[in-house]
Amino acid sequence: MKHNNKYIYPRTIRVSIDGKRHYDINEKEKLPSVTTILSQTQSAEKTEGLRKWRESKGELEATRIVDESGARGTAMHKILEEYIKGDGYLDLTKVGKEAHNMAMKVISDGLCNVTEYYGLESTLYYPGLYAGATDMIALHNNRMTIIDFKQSNKPKKREWIEDYCLQLAAYGMAHDYMHKTKIDKAVIMMCTPDNFYQEFVIEGEEYRQYKYKWLGRVSKYYEQKSRNRNHNEKTKQSS
């Protein structure tokens, strides 16, 4: 796969502020990550659903599932990144072997449609608003595309992955701002531990709608932040 270095992506540092991920951009501003904004503005319905799921599994089992899924996803990303760069990566742990098989499925069924890439794990940011690192910016079926690799414990329905779509729309908007591009397509390449591959393509009007929805989540995040700041200041004054 050819690497095109047309775009220069900044080096940034991930930092934690109040336990939430932020990006230090050129030591000038610390911006909340896309995932931080999404988690802080998720609906009450989704929050309650996650609470009920943890309750049904039990805290220890729920934590085990989340930790194992995270480790598997990290390993899969690493294998894919090294493959794309032409390097090798070997992880002989149980999770590593699962991740390797999943990565091979993504390569055979998904990356076969990618001919050229511009960046891997590239930081993108919109000044004053947000930042994040996208898995891949590439030509997918000859169109510039934001690509994200996801592991999932089970197959997903399209209506379950709205936050993933918002995440990619956010990266696309940041890339457009930084590099004067006009990205209008995103692809999620997803695989389960039993090697069931799914690909979700977001483009056209659907992609535009996710851009608008993302801006709504950004506004909600900063409104909440402002209310919390005002509340804390009033609390200090009254104490």
CA distance 196 to 198: 7
Residues 6 or more apart whose CB falls under 8 angstroms from that of 204 comprise 184
Residue pair 146/158 in contact (Cβ under 8 Å)? The answer is no
Task: Tell me, yes or no, if the pTM score tops 0.75.
Answer: yes
- Domains in the chain (CATH in brackets) are 2-238 (3.90.320)
Beta bridge partners of 198: 190
Could you list the pLDDT tens digit for every one of the 239 residues in the chain?
A: 899 999 999 988 999 999 999 999 877 789 999 999 999 999 878 888 888 888 888 888 888 888 888 889 899 999 999 999 987 766 677 888 999 999 999 999 999 999 999 999 999 999 999 999 999 999 999 999 999 999 999 999 999 999 999 999 999 999 999 999 999 999 999 999 999 999 999 999 999 999 999 999 999 999 998 988 776 766 666 66
Q: State the Cα–Cα distance between residues 134 and 119, nearest whole angstrom.
A: 9
Strand order in the sheet with 143-151: 2-3, 114-126, 130-140, 143-151, 185-191, 197-203
